[in-house]
Amino acid sequence: MKPIFKSVIAASAFALFASASAFAADVYKIDPNHTSVTFQYTHFGFSHPTGKFMNAVGAVNLDKADPSKSSVEVSFDISGVNTGVPALDTHLKSPDFFDAAKFPTATFKSTKVELTGKDTAKVTGDLTIHGVTRAVTLDVKLNKLDVHPMMKKEDAGFTATATIKRSDFGMGNYVPAVSDQVDLYIEAETLKQ
């Protein structure tokens, strides 16, 4: 596989870009069973707890002829937050944090992709959480592009990371005891349609 093609796939991840032509793009649907958005923060300086969303839906439109026209849109339901502590999940869904009743969905829609290496890219897009939209850049790595041995379809797997401030999204309660900085770790698989 040509290095530039692998980079194009990496850039298309979760990222997941500018609108792609329906005639030139291949659609890769996000596999929610193998896609997770994990977040990590600092709790009073004592620990670094994590939470996770495993209910992402969306698709990557990969334009192989012109990678800059590739795009991705993904969303997930805030009610699916899972920290492993049911009481904390309930608190995170409350108005103190996500306010899931008022803002039930988080979304990411890509606006730009910049190739940074053979299998890596910076993908910038609009992240909307808690009714607030901010530009966020993900560092994306293509893990593997191949035919999935069970699904018998082309599968593209990615890892992406970013750091955001929750106060930028109107969720600054308990800062600095509970850190403003939140690290995001995204694992994604996408199946060609």
State pTM to two decimals.
0.83
Domain count, the chain: 1
DSSP string, the chain: --HHHHHHHHHTSS---PPPPTTTEEEEEE-GGG-EEEEE--BTTTB--EEEE---EEEEEEESS-GGG-EEEEEEEGGG-B-S-HHHHHHHTSTTTT-TTT--EEEEEEEEEEE-SSSEEEEEEEEEETTEEEEEEEEEEEEEEEE-TTT-SEEEEEEEEEEEEGGGGT--TTTTTB-SEEEEEEEEEEEE-
The per-residue pLDDT for 118 is: 80
169 near 191, Cβ under 8 Å? Answer: no
Encode the chain (193 residues) as per-residue pLDDT tens digits. Answer: 444 333 333 444 434 433 333 446 789 999 999 999 999 999 999 999 999 999 999 998 877 666 667 788 999 999 999 999 999 999 999 999 999 999 999 999 999 988 888 888 899 999 999 999 999 999 999 888 788 888 888 888 889 999 999 999 999 999 999 999 999 999 999 999 8
Closest alpha carbon to 74 in 142, 146, 143, 136: 136
The per-residue pLDDT for 146 is: 81
Q: Which residues contact 190 (CB under 8 A, 6 or more apart)?
A: 13, 28, 29, 30, 31, 59, 60, 155, 156, 157, 158
In this structure, how many other beta carbons lie within 10 angstroms of the beta carbon of residue 163? 12
Structural domain including 71 reads 3-192
Which CATH number does the domain housing residue 35 bear? Answer: 2.40.128.110
The per-residue pLDDT for 64 is: 65
The per-residue pLDDT for 60 is: 84
